[in-house]
Structure 1
Amino acid sequence: MAENPAETSVVGVPTYCSQPPRTAPVLPPGASPDRERAILVGGAKWVNGTVLHYCFLNEPGAALDATQLDEIRRAFQEWKDVGIGLEFREVTRLSEAEVRISLRRGDGSWSYVGRDVLGIPPPQPTMRFGWSLTDTPHGKATARHEIGHTLGFAHEHQNPFAGIEWDEEKVYRSLGGPPNNWSREKTFHNILRKLSTNEVEGSTWDPLSVMEYPFPAGLIIRPEQYRTGIPDPVRISEQDKTYVRRWYPVIDAKPPELHPLQSVELGLASGEQADFTIEPAETRTYEMGTFGSSDFVMVLFEDIDGELRYYTGTDDSGTNGNGRLKAKLFQGRHYVLRARLYSIWGPGKAALMCW
């Protein structure tokens, strides 16, 4: 995705970076629009309560400057301080990190969106910072912006509800020249392309969002108040905070225990989540699954020294079956099962069971 810039050209065109393309889920023929929307909107979101581990890649020509690393750490903490149920942990081993951060200069700044990072194999980065994060307010905003992508945010200016009418040829000329030197295809993908209404939540555009691009004067025809440009959004906006708290509310209470052969009805709406603890009475292989005409992402965590670590998971979205997990659980250990609903696409309600 294009990012908030750390540099500005002499004519006022910011330096942006391009977003890696997303992989849309393959849905079965005849899937209802409501089901499709729920899957596409929810697909990037993490199961709430996930601990996201991040590491810094030691790459040739990419100095791991302490001031840059500290700015990224502060950005993670700033998102956490909004009051969300996700956790962030820095690790040093590449194999333990879902989020792998490159600081190679000159390669732009970008991040994959939400759970898309799980499809990027090590040692490839899932996030890159191609300019200084400390020299200007724009650089500081870049760190917040990229982490926002990892949380599941898209770009605000591509919101289909924004009502932006571009002077398209001027946009192509501006982005085709220095400092970006983008092709028309890259400019369309990152600037002019509208996201599908299935890819966004809500119906309002937030030009103050840290996920918005700054734009110089002359590129936007309408809304008229933005003909003079969009200023640099340099902090997490109030609307950003509202949405991220809605996606990842703080988890306070200990979840109820799920007992073997106990079926639990899940009264969830799209995007909501159910959480359960599992305390095995004996060491053996257990199965866990959802039931009903529904689309779920289901993740099992093991409590290791007070931290929930990913154990196994499944995503049944876009299929006409239900998710199943099979795992060997050990007596005396503690597990947490989390199930996030995309949609109910048939009659009845969804249920969950362990056996």
Structure 2
Amino acid sequence: MNTHPCKVISPDNLMASFEVAIKENPANELTLTSGGRHKRSVGQWSKFWGNGRSLNITFVNAEPETLRKQIEGIIRQWEPSTNLTFTFDQALNGDIRIKTGAQTNESYVGTDATLAPTDQPTLSLFVGPQDNDFEWTILHEFGHALGLQHEHLHPKANIPWDKPKVYDYYKAHYQWTKEQVDYNLFTLLPTVDFMQGPYDKESIMHYVVTNELTIGDWEVPRNTRISKLDRRNMRKAYPKANTTP
């Protein structure tokens, strides 16, 4: 099961979320085409950072340097698949601010982090370095921080959830409300999305799905590594300059 499931932090103001995303990266604006005309669609937009940008990552807590370096090493697994530069400079403001020892694993998605108060974390970790879930949880949460959504919400996932059991399970184990379960497990992403590719059961962004919470024989084990499609999506969101002469 999801030992420590992730909750995406939803912005309070959707218009503000849209505006900061477009200001940061105009390519985030998704359009609907009708009769050859493009129509702005607030409610459907991506949240990727500006291409070629430097993202500074800081820590809210006074963790040991060894722990910070461990987290940094895990996060840098994403870097080769982007055109971004990751810096870890505590003397500067953090674009992404990490809190360890939190009550839950959660993150803002991409540019939504700019909406958080500057003294508050934008990515929180419940798991610690002694936890077997430590590395994959950080990879998952930082995928959100780079702008990726949950893969089990892909519009073509077609997961045969046994919804009453799912509601009961998350209420009993994590005290999630029905609305929180709906938002994090059942509300599929819009189909109009330039990032949309094949559904990826191996994505690091996918929840664990067990047979006990689905109808029939259907499950997804814990994915512990960034998948090939995850990297392809990152390269699509943050394309590197073509160096071919």
Q: Give the TM-score of the pair, scaled to structure 2.
A: 0.82
Would you say the 8 A contact 1:67–1:134 is kept in 2?
no
Structure 2 counterpart of 1:177, one-letter code: A
The residue aligned with 2:157 is 162
The residue aligned with 2:10 is 21
1:102-122 deviations in Å (ceiling 9; x for gaps): 1134x1011101111111121
- State percent identity of aligned pairs: 28
After superposition, residues 245-256 of structure 1 pair within 5 angstroms as: 245-251=235-241
TM-superposed CA distance for 1:168, in Å, is: 0.5
Would you say the 8 A contact 2:107–2:145 is kept in 1?
yes
Q: 1:81 to 1:104 in 2, by over 3 A?
A: same
Separation in 1, partners of 2:134, 2:203 = 15
Match of 1:40 among 29, 44, 48: 44
The residue aligned with 2:78 is 79
Separation in 2, partners of 1:151, 1:113 = 7
Match of 1:132 among 128, 135, 145: 128
Corresponding pairs, count: 225
1:243 aligns with 2:243: no
Match of 1:109 among 105, 108, 120: 105
Please, which runs of 5 or more residues in structure 2 have no aligned partner?
Answer: 19-29, 34-38
Q: 1:244 to 1:13 in 2, by over 3 A?
A: closer
Write 1 or 2 for the structure with the bigger share of helix: 2
Name the structure, 1 or 2, with higher relative contact order (CA <8 Å, separation 6+). 2
> The residue matched to 2:148 in structure 1 has which SS?
coil
> The residue matched to 1:148 in structure 2 has which SS?
helix
Structure 1 counterpart of 2:71, one-letter code: I
Would you say the 8 A contact 1:51–1:89 is kept in 2?
yes
Please, which runs of 5 or more residues in structure 1 have no aligned partner?
Answer: 1-11, 254-355
Separation in 2, partners of 1:213, 1:68 = 25
Would you say the 8 A contact 1:168–1:219 is kept in 2?
yes
Match of 1:118 among 111, 114, 119: 114
Q: 1:140 to 1:242 in 2, by over 3 A?
A: same
Would you say the 8 A contact 2:109–2:149 is kept in 1?
yes
Write 1 or 2 for the structure with the bigger share of strand: 1
> The residue matched to 2:212 in structure 1 has which SS?
coil
The residue aligned with 2:177 is 183
Q: 1:68 to 1:207 in 2, by over 3 A?
A: farther
Q: 1:203 to 1:134 in 2, by over 3 A?
A: same
Q: Which of the two has higher C-alpha Rg?
A: 1
What is the RMSD computed on CA atoms of the aligned residues?
A: 2.5
The residue aligned with 1:52 is 55
Separation in 2, partners of 1:144, 1:220 = 26
The residue aligned with 2:23 is none
1:245-278 deviations in Å (ceiling 9; x for gaps): 111122477xxxxxxxxxxxxxxxxxxxxxxxxx
Q: 1:39 to 1:65 in 2, by over 3 A?
A: same
The residue aligned with 2:27 is none
